[in-house]
Amino acid sequence: MALIETKGLTAFYGDFQALFGIDIAVEAGETIAIIGANGAGKTTLMRSISGVLANEPGAILHNNTPIGALPAPDVLARGIAMVPEGRKLFPSLTVEENLLVGAYGRKAQGQWTLDSLYALFPVLKERRRSPAMALSGGQQQMVAIGRALMSNPSVLLC
């Protein structure tokens, strides 16, 4: 049984169809890469799986349960986290506050805590009290990834 699966996934922005019948199956522990030109639908696929874009319920399955029509907070609560394009950090919050926001929507036990993230990204520990927007672009990306990991997801979309 696939951890996450799409079946004939389509997605629209108004009248514009961005995805045409996408079938993907990802097993637990597996990593896949979606590559393609700008405008090919990579971001739309991620937004669909994460619940940012609504779909038909059975077009997306998580552990064989239809989730295509669930809103993003419910998808996150099931353990699917997305690192948004462009990082989307909260500019008024510190690095540590941005990381803690990631644990807010899902109280799951797992390996990802502030300590484990600081071990993975030591520079974030050094800068934890700095405004998130004062970091370099690469450091901001570390915060965005860390924020998603703080929910201890079973599926991480980057």
Segment 19-67, tens digit of pLDDT:
999 999 999 999 999 999 998 999 999 999 999 999 999 999 999 999 9
Q: Quick check: is 87 in a domain?
A: no
Residue 86 lies in a domain: no
What are 40's two structure tokens?
């090919």
103-147 tens-digit pLDDT: 887 777 899 999 999 999 999 999 999 999 999 999 999 999 999
CATH number of the structural domain spanning residue 29: 3.40.50.300
Structural domain harbouring 10:
4-78
Q: pTM of whole model > 0.85?
A: yes
Q: Per the domain annotation, does 51 fall within a domain?
A: yes
